[in-house]
Amino acid sequence: MPQQFLTLDFQGQIRTEAISVVRKLRNHPSIALWSGDNEVDDAYYYHGLDPARNVLTREVLPQVVFQCDPYRPFLPSSPYMSPEMVAARNPHLMPEMHLWDTRDYFKSAYYTEHPAHSVSEIGFDGYPSLSGLKRFIDDKNLWPWQKSQVWTLHSASQVGDDYENKLLAKELKDFYGVVPDKIEDFIYASQTSRAEAYKYLIEMTRLKKWRRTGVIWWNAIDGWPLISDSVVDYYFNKKLAYHFIKRVQHPVVLMVDEFEGHSGDDWSLQVVMCNDSRQDAAGHYKVWDAESGETLLEGDYASKANGNIAVGKTQAFHSDKKLFLMEWTTGGKKYVNHYLLGLPAFSLAQYKAWLPKIAALQNDFDPEKVGV
Q: Kindly report the CATH number assigned to the domain that includes residue 221.
A: 3.20.20.80
The answer, yes or no, to whether residue 154 has pLDDT greater than 60, is yes
The answer to whether residue 370 is domain-embedded is no
CA distances (Å), 184 to each of 4, 130, 195, 364, 370, in order? 52, 7, 17, 22, 10
The answer to whether residue 352 is domain-embedded is no
The answer, yes or no, to whether residue 3 has pLDDT greater than 90, is no
Same domain membership, residue 75 and residue 143:
no
The answer, yes or no, to whether residue 159 has pLDDT greater than 80, is no
C-beta neighbour count of 328 within 10 angstroms: 23
In which band, very low, low, confident or very high, does the pLDDT at 258 lie, cut at 50, 70 and 90?
confident
Same domain membership, residue 230 and residue 102:
yes
Same domain membership, residue 309 and residue 201:
no
- Check residue 156 and give its pLDDT: 79
Give the residue-averaged pLDDT of 276-290: 97
State which of 215, 247, 279 marks the end of a domain.
247
- Check residue 139 and give its pLDDT: 94
pLDDT in tens, 78-119: 999 989 888 888 877 888 899 988 788 999 988 988 888 999
Same domain membership, residue 240 and residue 103:
yes
If one compares 57 and 318, the residue with the highest pLDDT of the two is: 57
The answer to whether residue 359 is domain-embedded is no
Pairing of strands 96-99, 118-122: parallel
- Check residue 317 and give its pLDDT: 84
The answer, yes or no, to whether residue 242 has pLDDT greater than 60, is yes
3-state DSSP of the chain: CCHHHCCHHHHHHHHHHHHHHHHHHCCCCCCCCEECCECHHHHHHHCCCCHHHCHHHHHHHHHHHHHHCCCCCEECCECCCCHHHHHHCCHHHCCEEEECCCCCCCCCHHHHCCCCCEEEEECCCECCCHHHHCCCCCHHHCCCCCCCHHHHHCECCCCHHHHHHHHHHHHHHHHHCCCCCCHHHHHHHHHHHHHHHHHHHHHHHHHCCCCCCEEEECCCECCCCCEECCCECCCCCECHHHHHHHHHCCCEEEEEEHHHCCEHHHCEEEEEEEECCCCCEEEEEEEEECCCCCEEEEEEEEECCCEEEEEEEEECCCCCCEEEEEEEEECCEEEEEEEEECCCCCCHHHHHHHHHHHHHCCCCCCHHHCCC
If one compares 249 and 2, the residue with the highest pLDDT of the two is: 249
Same domain membership, residue 198 and residue 87:
no
Give the residue-averaged pLDDT of 206-212: 91
State which of 205, 228, 247 marks the end of a domain.
247
Same domain membership, residue 103 and residue 223:
yes
**Euclidean distance between CA atoms 272 and 282, whole angstroms:** 13
Quote the domain boundaries for residue 194: 96-247
Give the residue-averaged pLDDT of 117-132: 92
**Which residues fall within 8 angstroms of residue 81, CB to CB, at 6 or more apart?**
41, 42, 44, 45, 51, 94
- Check residue 247 and give its pLDDT: 98
State which of 93, 118, 153 marks the end of a domain.
93
Same domain membership, residue 235 and residue 114:
yes
**Euclidean distance between CA atoms 220 and 242, whole angstroms:** 8
The answer to whether residue 361 is domain-embedded is no
The answer to whether residue 372 is domain-embedded is no
Same domain membership, residue 323 and residue 204:
no
The answer, yes or no, to whether residue 261 has pLDDT greater than 60, is no
The answer to whether residue 350 is domain-embedded is no
Same domain membership, residue 126 and residue 76:
no
* Residues 72/26, Cβ–Cβ less than 8 Å: yes
Same domain membership, residue 226 and residue 201:
yes
Residue-level length of the chain: 372
**Euclidean distance between CA atoms 56 and 7, whole angstroms:** 11
Same domain membership, residue 166 and residue 188:
yes
Same domain membership, residue 228 and residue 137:
yes
**Euclidean distance between CA atoms 129 and 225, whole angstroms:** 12
In which band, very low, low, confident or very high, does the pLDDT at 65 lie, cut at 50, 70 and 90?
very high
- Check residue 155 and give its pLDDT: 86
- Check residue 260 and give its pLDDT: 60
Nearest C-alpha neighbor of 49 from the set 86, 93, 74: 86
Q: Kindly report the CATH number assigned to the domain that includes residue 263.
A: 2.60.40.10
The answer to whether residue 367 is domain-embedded is no
The answer to whether residue 360 is domain-embedded is no
Domain count, the chain: 3
